[in-house]
Chains A and B, each alone.
Chain A
């Protein structure tokens, strides 16, 4: 069974700092990995999808890396803003998604 771990569980930073969120998974037989954002009481917003053949994916201030062989992905958020405050979830896809518990981010103004 796929196990997904996210570290840290929570993170608080001042505005402008870069964020580094880590995700690890136990089974490297995946199709892709998705990073999601979840605001309190809301659904999931897809941020980035990295195919298993890719090493990196970028969208604006977001950059995600994938090292399938070591079972790790990292989400970098550059120059954080208070609007980035949310819970970030990684999910590995072997046709169904297995989620980590998430990292709750607070960006202080």
Chain B
């Protein structure tokens, strides 16, 4: 597609349920990133994929969070046993490569997650 797309745009869930958030990067972009934007923490990095590998998972806040990427394209962020503090907007970005130079990151519209 023309840009980064994310689904769903909004997700309301009950505490303790699992959720899956999806990201479709720009075609041909090898690098994919997940970020989280919450009121108290601002915008923070979660995980970076280069192809299907995740060389940096350092931003994942707990082991309840996991992500995968398949076919060098679509990525899914999974949150298990959701907690109220997981409520935030989850943003996905992609870039042509993960190294220097062409590393302009383009963002999707985000998924707003609300945990009741």
Q: Which A residues touch B99, using CB under 8 A?
A: 95
Are B109 and A32 neighbours in the complex by a CB distance under 8 Å? Answer: no
User: Is B25 interfacial (CB-CB < 8 Å)?
Assistant: no
What separation, in Å, do the CA atoms of A13 and B110 have in the docked complex? 30
What separation, in Å, do the CA atoms of A43 and B33 have in the docked complex? 14
List, sorted by A's number, 5 A–B pairs whose CB atoms are closer than 8 Å: A51-B101, A96-B33, A97-B43, A97-B93, A99-B44
Are B56 and A96 neighbours in the complex by a CB distance under 8 Å? Answer: yes
The count of A-to-B residue pairs whose CB atoms sit within 8 angstroms is 53
Which residue numbers of B lie inside 8 Å of A, CB to CB? 33, 35, 42-45, 48, 56, 59, 91, 93, 98-101, 103-110
What separation, in Å, do the CA atoms of A11 and B63 have in the docked complex? 39
Q: Which A residues touch B45, using CB under 8 A?
A: 96-98
Given A31-B101, A44-B91, the answer on whether A99 and B109 have CB atoms closer than 8 Å is no
What separation, in Å, do the CA atoms of A60 and B45 have in the docked complex? 30
Cβ-neighbour of A43 out of B44, B56, B91, B103 (below 8 A): B91
User: Is A23 interfacial (CB-CB < 8 Å)?
Assistant: no
What separation, in Å, do the CA atoms of A31 and B104 have in the docked complex? 10
Are B104 and A46 neighbours in the complex by a CB distance under 8 Å? Answer: yes
* Residue on B nearest A44 in the bound complex, by CB: B107
* Residue on B nearest A98 in the bound complex, by CB: B45
Please name 20 further chain A to chain B contacts, defined as beta carbons within 8 Å, in addition to the given A51-B101, A99-B43, sorted by A numbering: A31-B103, A32-B104, A34-B105, A36-B107, A42-B109, A43-B107, A44-B93, A44-B107, A45-B107, A46-B104, A46-B107, A95-B48, A95-B56, A95-B99, A95-B103, A96-B48, A96-B56, A97-B43, A97-B105, A98-B45
Q: Which of A39-63 contact B (CB under 8 A)?
A: 42-46, 49, 51
User: Is A107 interfacial (CB-CB < 8 Å)?
Assistant: no
* Residue on B nearest A96 in the bound complex, by CB: B45
Shortest CB-to-CB span from A72 to chain B, Å, is 19
User: Is A89 interfacial (CB-CB < 8 Å)?
Assistant: yes
Are A97 and B35 neighbours in the complex by a CB distance under 8 Å? Answer: yes
Q: Which 10 A-B pairs have the closest CB atoms?
A: A99-B43, A44-B107, A43-B109, A31-B100, A96-B45, A49-B104, A43-B110, A43-B107, A101-B42, A96-B48
